Amino acid sequence: MKGGGNIVETVEERRGLVSIENIEIKFEQLYRDNYSFIRNYTYKLCGISNISEEITQEVFLKLYENLQKLINKNIKGWLCKVAHNTVINYLKRNSKFTFEVDINLEDKSNNPEIKLEEDYNARIISKVLNKLPKKQAMAILLRDMEGYSYEEIGNIMGISYKAVKSLIYRGRQNFIKNYREEIKK
């Protein structure tokens, strides 16, 4: 799941001789490599397709504007942090908007009964995640669904390593409690 890589710095770039053409080529490569991931990530955070698309475009516009400053940086981590902050800013501006998580599990079977059960489980997981406080849900999504380390999550969310551990621990405890309640229904 991780990737999207760092921008490799060349001798010309170190001297400040980065051409617009080279920047555009690097941007196109980064866009191709990371678009789907960022689009899916923003969709998981906001749950509305057209808003997720708009936010994703805004994230890549910010990437284009800052590309020269990001040489030898973790681009995927930077994109996630910008996407996270952009979604949070959107949520703040549109206070009527509610955080929704929609989990789509990969279809691993052609068996209709198994697909039906997977859809049921995905709906329950989404419902339970949506009951969690936003920060707990985001931390759990980043850790358990996207595979980020605690340190990376801290960088993306702008919080300390200890705060990430605490959020994930409390989030998992709340998730388990809510999941058990939900499956009893």
Q: State the DSSP string of 51-78.
A: HHHHHHHHHHHHHHHHGGGGBTSBHHHH
Domain count, the chain: 2
- Is pLDDT at 103 greater than 80 in this prediction? no
Same domain, 2 and 79: yes
Q: The CATH number of the domain where 23 resides is what?
A: 1.10.1740.10
Q: What is the largest CA-CA distance in the chain?
A: 64
Name the more confident of 109 and 31: 31
- Is pLDDT at 151 greater than 80 in this prediction? yes
Find the mean pLDDT for residues 98-104.
52
Same domain, 40 and 3: yes
Q: The CATH number of the domain where 172 resides is what?
A: 1.10.10.10
- Other residues' Cβ atoms within 10 Å of the Cβ of residue 108: 9
Among residues 47, 77, 100, which one ends one of the domains? Answer: 100
Residue range 6-22, pLDDT digits in tens: 444 444 444 444 566 77
Residue 4: pLDDT band with limits 50, 70, 90: low
Q: Which domain holds residue 82?
A: 1-100
Look at the alpha carbons of 14, 151, 131, 101 in this order and tell me if their dihedral is positive or negative. Answer: positive
Residue range 105-150, pLDDT digits in tens: 555 556 777 777 777 777 888 888 888 888 888 888 888 877 888 9
Statement: the pTM of the whole predicted model exceeds 0.95: no
Same domain, 94 and 120: no
Same domain, 121 and 138: yes
Same domain, 1 and 80: yes
Name the more confident of 161 and 141: 161
Residue range 53-62, pLDDT digits in tens: 999 999 999 9
Among residues 58, 74, 100, which one ends one of the domains? Answer: 100
Distances (CA, A) of 159 to 2, 28, 76, 131, 139: 20, 31, 18, 22, 11
